[in-house]
Amino acid sequence: MNKQTIKCVVWDLDNTIWDGVLLENSDLKLKPGIEDIIKTLDRRGILQSISSKNDHDAAMAALKSFGLDEYFLYPEINWNAKSYSLAQIQKNLNISMDAILFIDDQEYELQEVKSVHSSVHCMNACEYRSLLDDPRLIPRFITEDSAMRRMLYKTDQLRKQAEAEFNGPSEAFLASLNMRMIIAPADEHDLQRAEELTVRTNQLNATGKAYSYEELDRLRQSEDHQLLITELEDRFGTYGKIGLALVHMNETCWRLKMMLMSCRVVSRGVGTVLLTHIMQEAHRAGKPLLADFRDTGRNRMMNITFRFAGFRDKFTEPDGTMVLEHDLRSIPQFPPYIDVVVQQ
Amino acid sequence: MDYRHVIREFIRDNLSIEHEGAAFSDDDNYFELRFVNSLFAMKLVQFVEQQFGIVVENDELDLNNFCTVNNLVKFVEAKKAKEAG
């Protein structure tokens, strides 16, 4: 399956979203069709941001007058180098550079960004009409989560502000969120989102293997597999369906074939919660627990999660997959700051 | 560099053990004292790497190296000694 997807489009403003230069011209006109493009990308769950050398307040006011201001997350409207702006957006969204498409009308800016971030995708603004047909911008499914993705990130922005204003240990901040995590067997209507998660998730992804809808549907109904999906919410609202795990229940052992958590919840420390649940269940079933880990170059955090939860090397598969084992002699409790609801 | 002091400070700022009024010694296993989430684990590894300029290899990602202040100090000292040697 093709994993080359764009998660975020970063737009320049002058002569890219609108014709003309804001600070020289009071009579700006949107480029023909641009409004439809921005709104369509938004419905597809593609995030959008701005990198523009402009006066911030004037530019936001212009966007507002076009009714487009709400569509952009973490806009960078200032006089910094665009490579710096891109780095800020990337950090704020917690996605990788190669999941960003940068659009600008000036070849100089495209080159400057590319020279610092070689993996970022660049496009000259004159090609903007091809955007909606670009396969990198056409997800296989539009899920409930993708349609509300921008809102999910907006809520995250509020959480980040609250965190920045919070004094005390980071753990105490987590406690102030009143988090609730629901762990449930994946239902048929979860499968599109489940496939999407296997394609989109990098950092907390144990194997990096993408699963298709059909595969997941088969596994969901298989007698000897458990496909679990988790949802997280807190006092700010829901994070959506953010975690997935696949357990193969053998005669002699349980084997965690896949486990992942959306990059949006990495800072919530909930990866370990799902892992703890599976450890508890394996223990209850009286089976040893194995877990697959494959180094993708991006998922070190998952490796650390496993090892710090007490997993150790067991053996390595011929394809390089490391198989880890937990002796289940000591299983951590769920953290006090999160309410875990397990549905059967 | 005073590894011990810096490490203790990091643990204190990220886990609320002392905040809750409990003392912990340099031999206490904070992974056993309380639930330690994946975020803290990642931050701890990154902190050790950046602060002391070392790279933690896969086979060193052993909980034992990281679970007490004393073990972590020992681990960092051994890494630094290996580098210097």
pLDDT tens-digit readout, A47-66: 999 999 999 999 999 999 99
Q: Is A216 found in the same domain as A327?
A: yes
Residue A50 is part of a domain; what is its CATH number? 3.40.50.1000
Across the interface, do A332 and B40 touch by the CB < 8 Å criterion?
no
Across the interface, do B16 and A335 touch by the CB < 8 Å criterion?
no
> From the CA of B71, how many Å to the nearest CA of chain A?
14
Residue B52 is part of a domain; what is its CATH number? 1.10.1200.10
d(CA A327, CA A324): 10
Is A2 inside a domain boundary? no
Q: How much is the ipTM here?
A: 0.82
- Partner residue facing A169 (CB), from B13, B32, B42: B13
> Tokens representing A189?
């209507």
**Domain count within chain A:** 2
- The predicted pLDDT at position B36 comes to 67
Q: Which of A77-91, A120-134, A185-199, A256-270 shows the lowest per-residue confidence on average (mean pLDDT)? A: A256-270
Domain extent for A36: 8-137
pLDDT tens-digit readout, A292-337: 999 999 899 899 989 988 899 999 999 999 999 999 988 878 888 8
Is A84 inside a domain boundary? yes
Mean pLDDT of A112-125: 97
Return the half-sphere exposure (C-beta side, CA atoms, 13 A cut-off) of residue A34: 24
> Tokens representing A311?
């997993």
Across the interface, do B35 and A334 touch by the CB < 8 Å criterion?
yes
Q: Is A164 found in the same domain as A81?
A: no
The residue ranges of DSSP E strands in chain A, in sequence order, are 8-11, 18-19, 29-30, 47-53, 76-78, 100-104, 121-124, 179-185, 204-205, 225-234, 237-249, 254-261, 289-293, 312-316, 322-326, 338-342
Residue A200 is part of a domain; what is its CATH number? 3.40.630.30
- The predicted pLDDT at position A290 comes to 98
CB neighbours (10 Å) of residue A164?
A: 8
Domain extent for B33: 3-84
Amino acid at A210: A
A243 touches chain B (CB under 8 A): no
Decide if pLDDT at B29 tops 90.
Answer: no
State whether residue A202 is helix, strand or coil: coil
Element (H, E) at A66: none
Is A3 inside a domain boundary? no
**End of a domain among A137, A164, A181?**
A137
pLDDT tens-digit readout, A171-217: 788 889 999 999 999 999 999 999 999 998 988 899 999 999 999 99
Q: Which of A255-259, A282-286, B2-6 shows the lowest per-residue confidence on average (mean pLDDT)? A: B2-6
Across the interface, do A330 and B32 touch by the CB < 8 Å criterion?
yes
Decide if pLDDT at A343 tops 90.
Answer: yes
**End of a domain among A137, A156, A183?**
A137
In chain A, % of residues over pLDDT 70: 99
A301 touches chain B (CB under 8 A): yes
d(CA A198, CA A186): 14
- The predicted pLDDT at position A59 comes to 96
